[in-house]
A = this chain, B = another copy of it.
């Protein structure tokens, strides 16, 4: 359902568009939040036209078909935006990896977390650059800010986890050195 909503929304804001245009849009800033390639988009546009949500407004050169949103399409989009209950479940490889982290030896876990903190920081820098480029209040601005905040949270979590692992490792080493009682 999300692909439909995304396509309806894109056509709503861009005006009548071809599958090719929409594919390009999915390669732009939208790629940060949802991905779809032409092999998914073209069939979906055909289905949506068959369902009356879109209509082929114009057939141009090179077989180009321009889809426009219909009243039914606008209704469907509005319905999705306001009524449809958002999918709550997370299914995120990063979450799963965080869950399974204790399976790794401390040192290896710290290495991975360090890399992850670095990656989150890099992604944050990218998003900041994107914001400077597209301006404060461009279309995807809310999503951009959201991404930034989540990346910051991710990075801080990784640093917290590293710290925790290091402390427990120190405690362990200490215990080994002086198994009982005070040192010396």
* Choice from B6, B98, B102, B108 contacting A146 with Cβ under 8 Å: B98
Classify chain A: how many residues form its interface, as a range: 35 or more
Taken together, the copies of this chain in the complex come to 2
Contact with B along A110-149 (1 / 0, CB 8 A): 0010001001000000000000000000011111011101
Nearest CB of chain B from residue A35's CB, rounded to whole Å:
6
Residue A81 lies at the interface, judged by CB distance under 8 Å to chain B? yes
Q: Complex formed: what's the CA distance from A85 to B92 in Å?
A: 14
Chain A positions 154-177 with a Cβ under 8 Å from a chain B Cβ: 154, 156-157, 160-161
Using a CB–CB distance below 8 Å, which chain A residues touch chain B?
Answer: 2, 5-6, 9, 12-13, 30, 32-35, 77, 81-82, 86-104, 108, 112, 116, 119, 139-143, 145-147, 149-150, 152-154, 156-157, 160-161
